[in-house]
Amino acid sequence: MAPSAIAIDQPGTTTTLTNNLIDKIDCPDINHGLESDVTGFASKALIQKVLKEQIARINVDTCEPGEEDAFYVADLGEVYRQHLRWKMNLARVKPFYAVKCNPDKEVLRLLAKLGTGFDCASKAEIDLVLSLGVPPSRIIYAQPCKTKSYLRHAQRVGVTLMTFDNTDELYKIKECYPKAELVLRILTDDSASACRLSTKYGASLEYAEELLHRVKHLNLNLVGVSFHIGSGASDPNSFGKAVKDARGVFDQAATLGFDLKLLDVGGGFVDETFETFAGNLNEALEEHFPTNVRIIGEPGRYYASNAFTLAANVIARREVAVDHEGGKGYMLYLNDGVYGNFSNIIFDHQHPVPQVLARPIANELPVEYSIWGPTCDGIDVITDRYFLPGVIEIGDWLFFENMGAYTKCSATKFNGFSDDHEVIYISSEPGASALLGY
């Protein structure tokens, strides 16, 4: 799908540059005096317009199979704004976008042009990033337990920087890629995060000491320390403790003759709490790493989540009794579910919020719904109780905001449904439009 191209001319108006589908739209009256508010409102209005135009082209009574499939609208302007916000709040930390979160080619292309680095966890992710012309020096192979053949591949293509957290990995690296630049991943307390990672990866501080000795014994090239406070972190103090622990490992390493130059503070940043977490991280960095150490991070969700809105079609409906006034509710069946783009419900512990698209909803009384995916599995439920205005019919569309992180990358083809949904790209930021050639 060719990207749409849109720039904000002035508050209240959004104009297409190169795409004929969208001319001018009216945005809500905006008088906050804040640039970000203006673009935020305009972005939402623009997404609504594109969603509505797309569904107007689809007639579920006559279309070919699949033409009514769920689809995304992705506003690359949102990714651009998140990058500026990162630079304003975390100037010292160079972001290496975590490709696993959403390997969408346009997102990667924009970030490549913005000069970020990339956190890759597999051969395919490395190759994808390299295919965009990103030099291997802007990639960290941030998978502490790597496949041997992938290690050899990393060596062939010149990706030198990589994490490890155990002795066996060191022997593997010694055999396959002895010149690799190694980053020791340490354990964090990630108990306050949505997706815990420290149950699987990271060396305790005691074990880290043992690993330092082993690196020295094997004559490998240790360059730094990394950690991850858990994805979807909710305790801003996690950074303080993790940075302090990393300092301890730097100091231990120094006693063994290592001169470490890199600290990787991982991901875990969330849109809503970003400034608070960034503030805590900056404070900890100032205290423990005042100068002379290069700092990188591996944000994923922070960049991708808000940029993607998903629309799905109501393919079936079942009336059910409910125990509140009126006594009537509905089970709605969408053409996308937890085996598809709503995989974030299972894997990322998210609760996507349904909204009704393209129906007048003023003054309609709330009706109780449960919302299900299309597969035959009972686990395929998007929400088991939600009130939406009015009675929703078969053929109507629902949309869900903030669907850019850990969604389509973990979709499956279970039951024969698609794992490859159309993305309509737009840009609500002139800067992003210019970089992408929209």
Q: Which residues are catalytic?
A: 376
Distance from C-alpha of 112 to C-alpha of 8, rounded to nearest angstrom: 23
Q: Is position 111 an interface residue for ligand PLP (rule: CB under 6 A)?
A: no
DSSP β-bridge partners for residue 70? none
**DSSP label at 271?**
G
Residue 172: phi, psi to the nearest 5? -65, -45
Residue of closest CB approach to ligand PLP? 267
Query: Given the structure tokens 């279309």, which residue do they identify?
Result: 63
Q: Is position 300 an interface residue for ligand PLP (rule: CB under 6 A)?
A: yes
Task: Give buried/exposed letters for 224-259 (b at 16+ CB in 10 A, else e).
Answer: bbbbbbbbbbbbbebbbebbebbbebbebbeeeebe
In angstroms, what is the minimal distance from the CB of 315 to ligand PLP?
31
In angstroms, what is the minimal distance from the CB of 107 to ligand PLP?
13
**DSSP label at 44?**
H
Q: Is position 119 an interface residue for ligand PLP (rule: CB under 6 A)?
A: yes
| Whether the Cβ atoms of residue 268 and residue 306 lie closer than 8 Å to each other | no
Of the pair 277, 330, the CB lying nearest ligand PLP is at 277
Write the burial class of residue 432 (CB in 10 Å: 0-12 exposed, 13-18 middle, 19+ buried).
buried
Of the pair 344, 427, the CB lying nearest ligand PLP is at 344
State the virtual CA torsion across 175, 126, 137, 177 in degrees, nearest 10: 0
Q: Is position 301 an interface residue for ligand PLP (rule: CB under 6 A)?
A: yes
In angstroms, what is the minimal distance from the CB of 98 to ligand PLP?
4
Of the pair 282, 355, the CB lying nearest ligand PLP is at 282
| Whether the Cβ atoms of residue 170 and residue 148 lie closer than 8 Å to each other | no
Of the pair 50, 270, the CB lying nearest ligand PLP is at 270
Of the pair 306, 370, the CB lying nearest ligand PLP is at 306
Cα separations in angstroms, 429 against 232, 425, 433: 26, 12, 6
Write each residue from 244 to 283 as x if it is in contact with ligand PLP (CB under 6 A), else as -, in one continuous string.
Answer: ----------------------xxxx--------------
Q: Is position 107 an interface residue for ligand PLP (rule: CB under 6 A)?
A: no
Distance from C-alpha of 111 to C-alpha of 100, rounded to nearest angstrom: 14
Among 130, 187, 197, 382, binds ligand PLP (CB under 6 A): 197
* Stretch near ligand PLP under the rule CB under 6 A, chosen from 30-38, 70-78, 102-110, 293-301: 293-301
The residue length of the chain stands at 438
In angstroms, what is the minimal distance from the CB of 287 to ligand PLP?
23
Of the pair 188, 231, the CB lying nearest ligand PLP is at 231
Total residues interacting with ligand PLP, rule: CB under 6 A: 17
Distance from C-alpha of 38 to C-alpha of 206, rounded to nearest angstrom: 51
Q: Is position 95 an interface residue for ligand PLP (rule: CB under 6 A)?
A: no
Of the pair 71, 201, the CB lying nearest ligand PLP is at 201
Q: Is position 231 an interface residue for ligand PLP (rule: CB under 6 A)?
A: yes
Q: Under 8 Å CB-to-CB from 175, ≥6 apart: which residues?
A: 148
Write each residue from 38 to 77 as x if it is in contact with ligand PLP (CB under 6 A), else as -, in one continuous string.
Answer: ----------------------------------------
Among 78, 104, 298, 336, binds ligand PLP (CB under 6 A): 298
Distance from C-alpha of 106 to C-alpha of 122, rounded to nearest angstrom: 19
Residues near ligand PLP, by CB under 6 A:
98, 101, 119, 142, 197, 228, 231-232, 266-269, 298-302
